Amino acid sequence: MKRSISTLNVLPRWIIVLIDLVIYSLSALVGYLLRLNFNVENLYAYNFLQGIIIFTLAGLISSLVTRSFAGIIRYTGIQDTLRVLYASLLTLVIALGINSISENAIPYSIAAIAFFVSVVALTSYRLLVKELFSFYRTIPKVSKKIIIFGAGQSGMITKQLLDNDTSTNVKVIGFLEDNPRKIGNVLSGVRIYSARNDFKKVVIKNNPSELIIATTSMSLDRKNELVDQCLEFGIKVSTVPSADQWIGGEFGIDQIHEVKIEDLLGRNPISLKNKFVNQELSGRSILITGAAGSIGSELVRQIVRYNPAKLILLDQSESGLFEIENEIRELRSLGESLVCYVADVTNRERVRRLFSQYKPEFVFHAAAYKHVPMMEINVPEAIECNLLGTRNLADLSVEYDVRKFVMISTDKAVNPTSVMGATKRAAEIYVQSLNNLLSEIEADSPTRFITTRFGNVLGSNGSVIPIFKKQIQKGGPITVTHPDITRYFMTIPEACSLVLEAGVMGNGGEIFVFDMGKSIKIVDLAKRMIQLSGLKEGKDIDIVFSGLRPGEKLYEELLDDKENTMSTHHPKIMIAKVRSLDFSKVKSHYSDLEGLIYSSPSSGDDIDMKMVKVLKSLIQEYRSKESKFTMLDR
């Protein structure tokens, strides 16, 4: 079969050895010529043929010893260059050794000149062959032109990976940079352009199909600006992972991935001062409820880094617990320090056995029902899990002298309009009033209760992003409840860092709220996701408005109308100053709700109405929306 240079993958080793020997021979000849000022007549007086043969044989021996022929020439790098240097140096040593035995076999000066010539020639021809392979590989029609943003180390590595990728015909046409000191220079053979001033010119001239963001130091606003520019010209945008996410410490071309909507939401990452978290959690017995959920599982991932003495994962989902257990055990050898406990937080006696056996010192309570429309039609379950389940854990924490109980709440607890939001607010009220009661009874009470509030987390179960992705994959339409509906977003790791920070910072009774940045219109989110998918709204896929669902808010808040905030040591973390209620009153409402849940069966709607009426009595600001329970607000 006929083979061309463009289809030849690896030069056979015997050819490399042969070429190396020719270069050693020519290097020796050049050594003689330079030494004799190119006076050819004097060559025979020095018996130059013998010298060339000796130097060539020495080169053969050194090649076999150092295996300088073993490198794949089209991937020549620093290690291959060093191997050539070692081979030439060994050749010189052998030649000089022969010369010491057989006088004037090859003069010392000529051997030294031949050494330097061979190093330059062997290295140069390897680099030349490498460039020829690269050149001939791009002779077929280039299927993809790529431009890289970021002319740093990640950008250079990305270009090298693309240049060496034989699976596709890819050509990097240039780098884009915001750093003025780099603009105008050349990196790895391509020019560095100004991302702000030259973007349009470069795109129009070269028509790239993809831009790869190869920097992790870009601000979120700048990334959004760049992505918008690319979408305007129909350019696909991809990113490379940060160095700490490289698989096995190495970066491969398969790790380059398309920009996801999650990469463009929220705000610049907030740095939390977690330097005291280690000394608080290290060596402790820690319980995480809802450990198989989005927040709970990330808490597990973060807390395990602090080497707790015992980490107890509680969830009623056996499959979810199995998955997070396998994930954690693959990362660390935890032995019996990791415990998976299948239980429902509403089963008081089952949870009591957990407290009795493992004596947790910290409780991170993430278990809850969180789906607004679903809980609006399943009121007893919402109350039993979110209220009575929280009460069980809080009471047992006091009974077994837990040091800190950190409850994870939601912004839907603020001015609640849904059953779910109201139950979470009622849970906040219970733990805060219990904390206040303990402080009154015993100033140095061993158990402290802390609450954190935050908005929607990216990638959580039931969030709009995975729903929109599925709808786009099916060809649409994308359903948005209302054209003006907005939501706050944050990443799951940020949310969990906040929870850990609160666990360390809190002294008991606080409700911590997080600066969530700017709220985002959901319809704009949908439009952006359509663009990132390479589709056009109205042409390829439609957006339809389905109307607000039962209990759903148009806008969400982190504080109610009567709440103020108090600053903490971190400018992005605040403490909500909320009205406190007497524990006996709260306990009475809880008893009424418990009685209704376990009362004799009757009309489901009547029981639901009675339960919500008790909730509204406890939470004065609770006003239902788009729900059958609005009649209770009249």
Question: Among 97-106, 182-191, 470-479, 489-498, where is mean pLDDT lowest?
Answer: 97-106
Task: Report, as an integer, the average pLDDT of 299-320.
Answer: 93
DSSP string computed for 94-135? HHHHHHHHSTTSS-HHHHHHHHHHHHHHHHHHHHHHHHHHHH
Share in percent of the chain as helix, strand, coil (round to 5): 50, 15, 35
Write out the two tokens for 266: 């929220």
- Which has more confidence, 7 or 219? 219
> What's the pLDDT band for 619 if we cut at 50, 70, 90?
very high
> What's the pLDDT band for 77 if we cut at 50, 70, 90?
low
Highest mean pLDDT among 223-232, 296-305, 524-533: 296-305
> What's the pLDDT band for 248 if we cut at 50, 70, 90?
very low
Task: Give the span between the Cα atoms of 457 and 465, in whole angstroms.
Answer: 10
- Which has more confidence, 188 or 364? 364
> What's the pLDDT band for 66 if we cut at 50, 70, 90?
confident
- Cα dihedral 102/106/108/111 (nearest 10): -140
Task: Flag whether pLDDT at 5 surpasses 50.
Answer: no
Q: What is the DSSP letter of 539?
A: T
CB 386 within 8 A of CB 378: no
Return the percentage of the chain with pLDDT > 90, whole number: 27
> What's the pLDDT band for 420 if we cut at 50, 70, 90?
very high
pLDDT of residue 561: 47
- Amino acid at site 632: L
pLDDT of residue 98: 75
Task: Flag whether pLDDT at 175 surpasses 80.
Answer: yes
pLDDT of residue 7: 41
Task: Flag whether pLDDT at 192 surpasses 50.
Answer: yes
Task: Flag whether pLDDT at 260 surpasses 80.
Answer: no
Task: Flag whether pLDDT at 376 surpasses 50.
Answer: yes
- Say if residue 477 is preceded by a cis peptide, omega within 30 of 0: yes
pLDDT of residue 568: 67
Task: Flag whether pLDDT at 293 surpasses 60.
Answer: yes
Return the percentage of the chain with pLDDT > 70, whole number: 82
Question: Among 36-40, 63-67, 354-358, 541-545, where is mean pLDDT lowest?
Answer: 36-40
Average pLDDT of the chain to the nearest whole number: 81
What are residue 557's phi and psi, to 5 degrees?
A: -130, 160
b/e map of 100-128 (b: 16 or more CB within 10 Å)? eeeeebbbeebbebbbebbbebbbebbee
pLDDT of residue 399: 94
Highest mean pLDDT among 5-19, 204-218, 365-379, 470-484: 365-379
Highest mean pLDDT among 2-11, 95-104, 421-430, 574-583: 421-430
pLDDT of residue 623: 92
> What's the pLDDT band for 569 if we cut at 50, 70, 90?
low
> What's the pLDDT band for 112 if we cut at 50, 70, 90?
confident
Task: Give the span between the Cα atoms of 274 and 415, in whole angstroms.
Answer: 31
Task: Flag whether pLDDT at 349 surpasses 90.
Answer: yes
Cα of 13 vs its chain's centroid, Å:
43
Highest mean pLDDT among 130-134, 269-273, 555-559, 584-588: 584-588
Task: Flag whether pLDDT at 626 surpasses 70.
Answer: yes
Highest mean pLDDT among 246-250, 405-409, 498-502, 571-575: 405-409
Task: Flag whether pLDDT at 20 surpasses 70.
Answer: yes
With a CB cutoff of 8 Å and minimum separation 6, the contacts of 344 are 316, 350, 385, 389
Question: Among 141-155, 295-309, 360-374, where is mean pLDDT lowest?
Answer: 141-155
Question: Among 11-15, 42-46, 244-248, where is mean pLDDT lowest?
Answer: 244-248
> What's the pLDDT band for 247 if we cut at 50, 70, 90?
very low
Task: Flag whether pLDDT at 184 surpasses 60.
Answer: yes
Task: Report, as an integer, the average pLDDT of 78-84.
Answer: 69
pLDDT of residue 136: 60
Residue 80: enclosing H or E segment and its boundaries? helix 78-101
Task: Flag whether pLDDT at 589 surpasses 90.
Answer: yes
Task: Give the span between the Cα atoms of 230 and 147, in whole angstroms.
Answer: 11
pLDDT of residue 8: 42
Task: Flag whether pLDDT at 4 surpasses 90.
Answer: no
Task: Flag whether pLDDT at 245 surpasses 80.
Answer: no
Task: Flag whether pLDDT at 585 surpasses 90.
Answer: yes
With a CB cutoff of 8 Å and minimum separation 6, the contacts of 112 are 31, 92
pLDDT of residue 139: 52
Q: What 3-state DSSP class applies to 14?
A: helix
CB 79 within 8 A of CB 71: yes
- Which has more confidence, 323 or 113? 323
Task: Flag whether pLDDT at 610 surpasses 50.
Answer: yes
pLDDT of residue 243: 56
Task: Give the chain's domains with CATH numbers.
Answer: 13-137 (no CATH), 144-259 (3.40.50.720), 277-457+489-517+557-618 (3.40.50.720)
> What's the pLDDT band for 558 if we cut at 50, 70, 90?
low
pLDDT of residue 618: 94
Task: Report, as an integer, the average pLDDT of 450-469.
Answer: 78
> What's the pLDDT band for 45 if we cut at 50, 70, 90?
low
Task: Flag whether pLDDT at 606 surpasses 80.
Answer: yes
pLDDT of residue 287: 97
